[in-house]
Amino acid sequence: MSLFALIAALLLEQLQPLSGRKHLHGWLSGYVDFFQQHFNAGQHKHGKIAWLLAVLPLLAGVVVLYWLLCQVHPIFAWAFNVLVLYLTMGFRQFSHYFTDIHQALRDGRLDEARGLLTTWRGIPAHELNAEEVARVTIEEALIASHRNVFGVIVWFVLFSAVGLGGAAGALLYRLGQFLRKRWGDEDAAAEPDILLGEDWGGGEFGGFARQAFYVLEWLPIRLTAATFAIVGDFEDTVYCWRTQAASWPDREAGILLASGAGALGVRLGMPIPQGGLLFDRPELGVGDDADADFMRSTVGLVWRSVVFWLILLLLLTLASLLG
């Protein structure tokens, strides 16, 4: 049932992209802001309490609703899983930026590509040349595909496997991601020395949100990187993962970007101009400089990874039925 729910949600999002996602984002922002306003006293323990109060009741409600729907008829529980996946997972949350930037670069419209990348990232890109635009766009696409698709799938499958209903797992991952961005990144911006995965205590409110998302990301990001190795260039992927990932400021994102660069045979990272200065970034990957052709290869890598995961789930489903 989990496999068919995933396929249905992916097809539904491709055929009918969700147009009301901004409204959902606005509602969720108001929801988490309520807990931040009422519990943020600037201490780590307050952030932990707020995170648990914001997340656990929603998860419990989703699990209970799933079980109630199962009692009525399994098809209703399946439809509920599809609905939650449709709301939490999908390529269309970012693919239009990637597609438009790719087409602009192919047509030689560099200024348009810079503007689209600026809108997507929220960071000015007017100083980047065509190769740098392609490089940064590939990086954003690799991270976005993981956090909007692969990470959601992993937690959906894990919760399904233990009988809690996949919807709760998908919701947990996306809530953890949202809270890390809203609470954790705000504190990290105020205190630049704070790095993901390295701040396990401290006195700031967003520390627990960063810690929780690090835990939620640990398995999915390694599964995604391993999939890139299987469907891409295996030797280069493993080499880049082992030798380059740790050099990236965000160590977990470094695993994803290094493995993706190795699988594609492209060079990512490297310094880029920003605010009139050269923003230093370590080099990731081996091979050629990024361009529009490598952007097309990125799409192929992501879709091959999705197909691989679906085939793997199909085999596991068949094994459980035959067993």
pLDDT of residue 197: 39
pLDDT of residue 29: 84
Instruction: Tell me which residue has tokens 């101009």.
Output: 273
Instruction: Tell me which residue has tokens 């929780």.
Output: 212
The per-residue pLDDT for range 118-174, each reduced to its tens digit, is 999 989 999 999 999 999 999 999 999 999 999 999 999 999 999 898 999 999 999
The per-residue pLDDT for range 94-125, each reduced to its tens digit, is 888 999 999 999 999 999 999 999 999 989 99
Please count the other Cβ atoms lying within 10 Å of the Cβ belonging to residue 29: 12
For the full predicted model, state whether its pTM sits above 0.85: yes
Angle at 36 between CA 31 and CA 39, to 5 degrees: 125
Are the CB atoms for 167 and 85 separated by under 8 Å?
A: yes
The per-residue pLDDT for range 186-210, each reduced to its tens digit, is 655 444 444 433 444 444 888 899 9
Give the integer Cα–Cα distance in Å for 7 and 321: 19
CB-based contacts of 149: which residues, under 8 Å, 6+ apart? 89, 90, 91, 302, 306
The per-residue pLDDT for range 5-49, each reduced to its tens digit, is 999 999 988 887 776 566 677 788 888 888 888 888 878 888 899
Q: What is the 3-state secondary structure (H, E, C) of the chain?
A: CHHHHHHHHHHHHHHCCCCCHHHHHHHHHHHHHHHHHHHCCCCHHHHHHHHHHHHHHHHHHHHHHHHHHHHHCHHHHHHHHHHHHHHHCCHHHCHHHHHHHHHHHHCCCHHHHHHHHHHHHCCCCCCCCHHHHHHHHHHHHHHHHHHHHHHHHHHHHHHHHCCCCHHHHHHHHHHHHHHHHHHHHHHHHHCCCCCCCCCCCCCCCCHHHHHHHHHHHHHHHHHHHHHHHHHCCHHHHHHHHHHHHHHCCCHHHHHHHHHHHHHHCECEECCEEECCEEECCCEECCCECCCHHHHHHHHHHHHHHHHHHHHHHHHHHHHHHHC
The per-residue pLDDT for range 43-62, each reduced to its tens digit, is 888 889 999 999 999 999 99
CB-based contacts of 267: which residues, under 8 Å, 6+ apart? 135, 261, 283, 284, 285, 286, 287, 288, 289, 290
pLDDT average, residue stretch 238-251:
94
CB-based contacts of 73: which residues, under 8 Å, 6+ apart? none
pLDDT average, residue stretch 281-293:
93
CB-based contacts of 255: which residues, under 8 Å, 6+ apart? 221, 222, 225, 241, 245
Confidence class of residue 303 from pLDDT cuts 50, 70 and 90?
very high
pLDDT of residue 202: 43
pLDDT of residue 22: 66
pLDDT of residue 83: 94
| 268 closest CA partner among 90, 135, 70, 94 | 135
Are the CB atoms for 177 and 147 separated by under 8 Å?
A: yes
pLDDT of residue 21: 63
pLDDT of residue 200: 42
Share of the chain above pLDDT 70, in %: 92
pLDDT of residue 196: 37
The per-residue pLDDT for range 256-271, each reduced to its tens digit, is 999 999 999 999 999 9
pLDDT average, residue stretch 69-87:
94
pLDDT of residue 48: 92
**Considering the chain, what is the average pLDDT of its residues?**
89
| 205 closest CA partner among 177, 179, 171, 176 | 179
Are the CB atoms for 257 and 143 separated by under 8 Å?
A: yes
